[in-house]
Amino acid sequence: MKDVVDNYEVLKKVYDPSDFRKLGHQVIDLLADHLEKVQSDIEQPVLKYKTPTDELKYWQEDFSSSDSEMLDFFKNIIAHSTHVHHPRCMGHQLAVPSFIAALSGLVSDLLSNGTGVYEMGMASNALEKIVTDFVAGYIGYDEHASGFLTSGGTLANLTALLAARKAKAPNAVWENGHQEKLAVMVSEEAHYCIDRAARILGFGSEGIIKVPVNNSFQIETTLLETYLQKAKAKDIRVIAVIGCASSTATGSYDDLNALADFADKNDLWFHVDGAHGGGVAFSKQYSYLVKGINRADSVVIDFHKMLMIPALNTALVFKHGENSYKTFQQKAQYLWDSQHSQEWYNSGKRTFECTKLMMSVKVYSVIKMYGKDIFEKNIDRLYGLAKTFAAILLEQTDFDLAITPQSNIINFRFIGSKAGLEEINLLNATIRDTLIESGAFYIVQTMIGGRRYLRTTIMNPMTTETDFITLLDRIKDIVSELKKGYR
């Protein structure tokens, strides 16, 4: 009995609102100070790089420590993390979270209402319908469209292809398993999650048909028929064709209208992976890049890419809403009465996730606070910055631009005296490593046609032209220092 009482006293402390209030104020002040510092003092490092071994050792020692001062713990987390709000953070395709979305995350985490079943997440389910209907409108869908939010583009693309299989495979795979070889067609520049999804679906290596790209790294639509006929000759049934909007490595947009024509002609499901670049549907200036997206059967758009929401937060929208309900038709009588009824307010019927986070709260809060055109403003700013950076690179004789960017992804490399390919590749890898270790900038790298490029994704609207010029100057300094070391 004493243990029960003692445990109760400890747990009362865990759930003490006064402690929450006190520490909460301190943490908000800590975060606000951090944000002010990385935005105003540009010489602050983007990250303080440590090797994986050293980082693990640091936290192992912390874990073994008896120190339970939580404000110090949060300070250490900040110090050991990459600062995405820093204007010189230009690496991966992750949103710079708006502050209101982060605060909404605090509210939703504390309430912790799962949205799989309506009465467990009344507000969030209603907000999710409003948000996904909002997205559907910009895609160009009519009132028959319907969608939901899920945890990331990988899961959303997998769910869309499950719906495609349900709609286009002649046998009841869900009940009977595969009775024939199935496949999807996609650009060879598509995100790896498409390949992964096809394999998870049991399609195997032959089930992911990768079509070559043109010089702009867009799917070569003139080859679609050839690749389809090759599949048929092997008794492989193609059920879907997938358009990239945009591709991950280069930010190139496929010709969606051409893909839609091909899908219509061959009775295929047409899916658009717009995880990164589909958000241009919100922009009057750049929506031409996804012309034809309204003809897709399903569309994926990540809010945690260019739409200012913390990861993970993805919209999957279906042109015909009923398709979203057919994928997971199974009994769960303790959750809902009928497995066949189409109920937007019971999202567990349509997603992998049953206890799903209140994702809609974050998206809705941004729209509520800043207006329905806030996403357009952010995208226009980011794409405009990419054009500025590309223009600066074109004026530099020491640098080579891979392609004129369609999006906010810019691939470039230092070529200098135009040495051999292996030497240039090694040099650019060294440049990138040196930048990361210095903490001055965060960029990544990619291989395109055997050439190693420095890859930047402009995600921070606070980034300026000066940051681009400083980056190139820093690279030149690194090269100069490397040359001194060779002497």
Per-position DSSP letters for 207-236, written without gaps between them: GEEEE-B-TTS-B-GGGHHHHHHHHHHTTE
* CB-based contact 208:161 (threshold 8 Å): no
The CA angle 123-95-47, to the nearest 5 degrees, is 130
The domain locations on the chain are 2-96, 105-370, 374-486
Of residues 452, 456, 450, 460, the one with CA closest to residue 474: 456
Alpha-carbon gap, residue 114 to 121, rounded angstroms: 6
pLDDT at 349: 72
Among 196-200, 349-353, 408-412, 465-469, the minimum mean pLDDT is found in 349-353
Residue 9: pLDDT band with limits 50, 70, 90:
confident
pTM for the whole thing?
Answer: 0.93
Residue 487 has pLDDT above 50, yes or no: no
Per-residue three-class SS string for 36-73 = HHHHHCCCCCCCCCCCHHHHHHHHHHHHHCCCCCHHHH
Beta strands 208-211 and 181-187: pairing type?
A: parallel
What is the tens place of the pLDDT at every residue in 140-198? 999 999 999 999 999 999 999 999 998 888 666 767 777 789 999 999 998 888 998 88
What is the tens place of the pLDDT at every residue in 257-281? 999 999 999 999 999 999 999 999 9
**Fold annotation for 374-486:** Aspartate Aminotransferase, domain 1 (3.90.1150)
Scan for tokens 């990138």, then name that residue.
432
What is the tens place of the pLDDT at every residue in 102-136? 999 999 999 999 887 888 889 999 999 999 999 99
Residue 238 has pLDDT above 50, yes or no: yes
Residue 225 has pLDDT above 90, yes or no: yes
Alpha-carbon gap, residue 359 to 156, rounded angstroms: 14
pLDDT at 278: 97
Summary mean pLDDT of the chain: 91
List of E strands, 39-171 = 146-150
pLDDT at 331: 43
Residue 380: pLDDT band with limits 50, 70, 90:
very high
First to last CA, the chain: 77
Residue 60: pLDDT band with limits 50, 70, 90:
very high
Q: Match domain 105-370 to its CATH number in 3.40.640.10, 3.40.50.150, 3.40.50.10490, 1.10.3720.10.
A: 3.40.640.10
Residue 335 has pLDDT above 60, yes or no: no
Cβ neighbours for 52, distance < 8 A, ≥ 6 positions apart: none
Residue 332 has pLDDT above 60, yes or no: no
What is the tens place of the pLDDT at every residue in 437-451? 999 999 999 999 899
Residue 50 has pLDDT above 70, yes or no: yes
- State whether the Cα torsion 300-304-305-308 is positive or negative: positive
pLDDT at 334: 40
pLDDT at 171: 67
